[in-house]
A and B are shown apart, each in its own frame.
Chain A
Amino acid sequence: MAWRSRLSYIGWRHLSIFSNPSPSNWTKVVSDAEKIVGYPTSFMSLRCLLSDELSNVAMHVRKLVGTKHPLLNTARGFVYDSRNNLQMRGLIVLLMSKAAGPCPSTSDPIHDSMVSGIYPSQRNLAEITELIHTAFLVHRGIVNLKEWTNSDGPLKDMQFGNKMAVLSGDFLLANACTGLAQLNDTKVVELISSAIGDVVQGIYHESSTSAEEGSLTVASWEDQTFLSHGALLAKSCQAAMKLARHGNEAQNLAFLYGKHLALGHKLNSDLQPFVKSGSEPAVFSLDSAPVVFHRQIVGPERWRHQLKQVQNMARQIDYTKLRGLIKTERGVSQALDLCSYHGNKALEAMKCFPSSEARSALENMACAVTKF
């Protein structure tokens, strides 16, 4: 039982990672932006995808078809959604690089190496950011074998799926590490390594707060979401500035843009099940922003009562009913407010950059996360 709720939770999470906030608008913004950075973004370097190691994994993952291992879902996501969100982080790093322009001191030897207004090192960084992000999508899907019961299928499949997930995630991280080393900037290595540590802490938190009784407050939700969803983008944007030898001010603004955009983006996707009209069955995490806000409004006592109300005999939650209950309070509107706050903060951070196509693209993305 515990496993089942966890599984649906994992399934949901993958949905949220890959699904577009308000698809039409977002897709247009992203595809417009891709044209600005030079060539179509394919950051997951061919070197990695074509390596013996990953083709080995691909072969083995086929054996998992028909099992419930989350690695399958993640792998599917690479195929179906690779056009848009999977590479969003890399795209933003490139746009930010282009928006900030060449290194301020023209005598610097790195000056001539720009392609479409972006330094090669910044392109590598964008790729590394994607590698790290993908590595954690894979490591998030590790299954706890103790929670597995016979009715969920053979344990052997899960062990095997875990083995593949650990190895492929490690492989991506290792490639990120060697890629980082090649940037030849130990400050950037330190910054991105700290981002890896942040992501781990964020995900760890995710997997250890028990949703039913959770003591998650709005403030801690923001801290934790920054770690799990914002830190990598924020620090990568900052590092892109560092690579072009831009000063602290530009680095700081780039960091802020990355941070607020990521938080806005997360709020947007958390809000999707609550703002979509239509009769499609709702599934959402009890850690998503509107639920957390709602919990804080109603208090732990009433929340427990409401949860009981929407559970059936097998303690399964009727999400459509729960959504109805949440919609009667102000949780959803508070989350909407916070989403526009972060979108605006991201816009504000871009103000000091010289106006350019790249800057407009970043501004359009910041606007898109606040639209529903």
Chain B
Amino acid sequence: MAVPWSRCWRSGAGTAVLLDWCRGFSTRAFKVSGRRTPCSTAAPQPATARMKVLLRQGPVFNFNRPMTIARHRDRCLYTTPRVGCSICNDAKLKDPFSLAQKDLQNLYEDIKKQLLVSKAELKALCDYYFDGKGKAFRPMIVILMARACNVHSNKEGVLLPAQRSIAMISEMIHTASLVHDDVIDDSGTRRGKNTINKVWGERKAILAGDFILSVASMALARIGNNTVVSVLSQVIEDLVRGEFMQLGSKENENERFKHYLEKTFKKTASLIANSCKAVSILVNSDPEVHEIAYQYGRNVGIAFQLVDDILDFTSCANLLGKPSAADLKLGLATGPVLFACQQFPELHAMIMRRFSSDGDVDRAWQYVLKSDGVEQTNYLAQHYCQEAIRQIRRLRPSTERDALIQLTELVLRRDK
């Protein structure tokens, strides 16, 4: 055998973990029984090709799930699909951003109105990132999801005020976590501006983040729905736990992938998934609809972060609004590095010491570019997007639903 069995198994197992995650469940049983055959018989393939094979194989998708559930899951939740409403119909297709535009008008103004403080300086800190220059990516998804769920629930053309509040709250929670992250990472710039901590100091930055969070929490409570409060409180816990997960690295490669994806879910996808779930709860009592909304948000969220991690390697310094290879400099091993490590085991030691030795960052960067880590991460992101599409298709067709499908393309193709 050209490649030692153990290496073959290790890299294969890494991919299997990723696939598990992609589908939202994990299993050990399949990994052991199903992996050995391709590795021990076939000549070693390039990592990407190997992964593609894994992805294409039918059984990989449904391997650990009783067929009935699988079929049930794939079934549409609507009974009379309208003709001619496929996503290929360009005439009907609207750009997600412009579709949500109307509902998002004054979003930042409304957020600023909520942030009532007597002290002018604290007000300035709180308003700092609500300057309308953000992408409002989360509120957009939330609005589209809300309207798609409303159509599904026979409430076409309606957006509930509480659903719009969720859009605002999602942006506020996101911003509060950015402010704290910048202190934790000691970042100097964000969205082309100096960070709050650089302008006003760390102490005040933390307080501003806490304040935004308290206001978001009040707005959430005012919606008056206990389930919605629970769903979004989970996000706050996930954000912190995700940040804690970033402190440690795993020795074992398998665990490292799992750890990375779990962290990615907690730090990025949980907010999107649970906000989507919240707007579905507000209009529909069917748990399956909540699950669709949640799974769409979860998959798109993870894909979004994977692309973000790719851009950290491929984008020029000023496009993303933060310097490239920022993650490496912070000691973080993201998707591209983890995949590259399968081809270049030399990276292992660097990952473990969190790229802290002289020249580590540069060397790791070179390895990543030489490997197909970026390509594979991208492939994984595509996969999460496909799963997101599969989920959202189970809702009754609507312009908003199709915009959410199209949005996955934008997530994959964005360059900043």
B180/A144 in contact, CB under 8 A? no
Min C-beta distance of A321 to chain B, whole Å: 30
Interface 9-residue window, one of B43-51, B147-155, B228-236: B228-236
B218/A177 in contact, CB under 8 A? no
Q: What CA separation (Å) do A144 and B218 show in the bound complex? A: 29
A186/B222 in contact, CB under 8 A? yes
A208/B184 in contact, CB under 8 A? no
- Is A194 interfacial (CB 8 A cutoff)? yes
For the residues of B in contact with A, the DSSP-based class is helix
Task: Tell me which residues across on chain A come within 8 A of B204, comparing CB atoms.
Answer: 204, 207-208
A174/B229 in contact, CB under 8 A? no
Interface 9-residue window, one of B9-17, B208-216, B282-290, B402-410: B208-216
From A162, A175, A196, A200, give the contact of B202 (CB < 8 A).
A162
Task: Tell me which residues across on chain A come within 8 A of B225, comparing CB atoms.
Answer: 186
A200/B237 in contact, CB under 8 A? no
From B180, B218, B223, B226, give the contact of A170 (CB < 8 A).
B180
- Is A216 interfacial (CB 8 A cutoff)? no
* B243 closest partner in A (C-beta): A167
Task: Tell me which residues across on chain A come within 8 A of B241, comparing CB atoms.
Answer: 53, 174
- Is B117 interfacial (CB 8 A cutoff)? yes
A144/B206 in contact, CB under 8 A? no
Task: Tell me which residues across on chain A come within 8 A of B119, comparing CB atoms.
Answer: 201, 204-205, 208
Q: What CA separation (Å) do A147 and B186 show in the bound complex? A: 15
Between A and B, how many residue pairs show CB distances below 8 Å?
Answer: 131
What is the size, in residues, of chain A's interface with B at 8 Å between Cβ atoms?
Answer: 45
Q: What CA separation (Å) do A147 and B201 show in the bound complex? A: 9
* A200 closest partner in B (C-beta): B211
A56/B244 in contact, CB under 8 A? yes
Min C-beta distance of A217 to chain B, whole Å: 15
Task: Tell me which residues across on chain A come within 8 A of B183, comparing CB atoms.
Answer: 142, 162-163, 166
Q: What CA separation (Å) do A147 and B121 show in the bound complex? A: 19
B184/A197 in contact, CB under 8 A? no
Q: Mark B241-266, 1 if CB is under 8 A from A, else 0.
A: 10110011000000000000000000
Task: Tell me which residues across on chain B come within 8 A of A197, comparing CB atoms.
Answer: 211, 214-215, 218
Assuming the contacts A166-B180, A167-B240, A178-B233, asked whether A143 and B214 have C-beta atoms less than 8 A apart, the reply is no
Q: What CA separation (Å) do A130 and B210 show in the bound complex? A: 17
Q: What CA separation (Å) do A170 and B225 show in the bound complex? A: 24
Most buried by B among A60, A186, A200: A200
Q: What CA separation (Å) do A162 and B211 show in the bound complex? A: 18
- Is B220 interfacial (CB 8 A cutoff)? yes
Q: What CA separation (Å) do A169 and B184 show in the bound complex? A: 12
Task: Tell me which residues across on chain A come within 8 A of B244, comparing CB atoms.
Answer: 52-53, 56, 167, 171
A189/B240 in contact, CB under 8 A? no
- Is B66 interfacial (CB 8 A cutoff)? no
Task: Tell me which residues across on chain B come within 8 A of A136, comparing CB atoms.
Answer: 210
Assuming the contacts A190-B221, A201-B122, asked whether A196 and B237 have C-beta atoms less than 8 A apart, the reply is no
From B218, B230, B248, give the contact of A190 (CB < 8 A).
B218
- Is B269 interfacial (CB 8 A cutoff)? no
Task: Tell me which residues across on chain A come within 8 A of B247, comparing CB atoms.
Answer: 56, 60, 167
- Is B4 interfacial (CB 8 A cutoff)? no
* A158 closest partner in B (C-beta): B202
Q: What CA separation (Å) do A186 and B229 show in the bound complex? A: 8
Q: What CA separation (Å) do A365 and B118 show in the bound complex? A: 32
Q: What CA separation (Å) do A186 and B225 show in the bound complex? A: 7
Assuming the contacts A163-B184, A174-B240, A200-B211, asked whether A193 and B202 have C-beta atoms less than 8 A apart, the reply is no
Task: Tell me which residues across on chain A come within 8 A of B118, comparing CB atoms.
Answer: 201
Assuming the contacts A56-B244, A178-B234, A180-B233, asked whether A173 and B203 have C-beta atoms less than 8 A apart, the reply is no
Task: Tell me which residues across on chain B come within 8 A of A171, comparing CB atoms.
Answer: 240, 244
Task: Tell me which residues across on chain A come within 8 A of B221, comparing CB atoms.
Answer: 186-187, 189-190, 193
Min C-beta distance of B206 to chain A, whole Å: 5
Q: What CA separation (Å) do A146 and B206 show in the bound complex? A: 15
- Is B239 interfacial (CB 8 A cutoff)? yes
- Is A355 interfacial (CB 8 A cutoff)? no
Q: What CA separation (Å) do A105 and B396 show in the bound complex? A: 46
Most buried by A among B186, B210, B236: B210
- Is A203 interfacial (CB 8 A cutoff)? yes
Task: Tell me which residues across on chain A come within 8 A of B223, comparing CB atoms.
Answer: 186
Task: Tell me which residues across on chain B come within 8 A of A175, comparing CB atoms.
Answer: 237
Extra inter-chain contacts (11) besides given A139-B210, A177-B217, A180-B233, CB under 8 Å: A53-B244, A56-B247, A142-B202, A166-B184, A174-B239, A177-B237, A181-B233, A193-B218, A200-B207, A200-B210, A208-B119
Q: Give 23 CB contacts A-B under 8 Å.
A: A53-B244, A56-B247, A144-B201, A145-B186, A145-B201, A146-B201, A167-B184, A167-B243, A167-B247, A169-B206, A171-B240, A177-B236, A180-B217, A185-B226, A193-B215, A196-B210, A197-B214, A200-B210, A200-B214, A201-B117, A203-B207, A204-B119, A208-B119
10 closest A-B pairs by CB = A190-B221, A144-B201, A193-B217, A189-B221, A197-B214, A181-B233, A196-B214, A181-B230, A200-B211, A193-B218
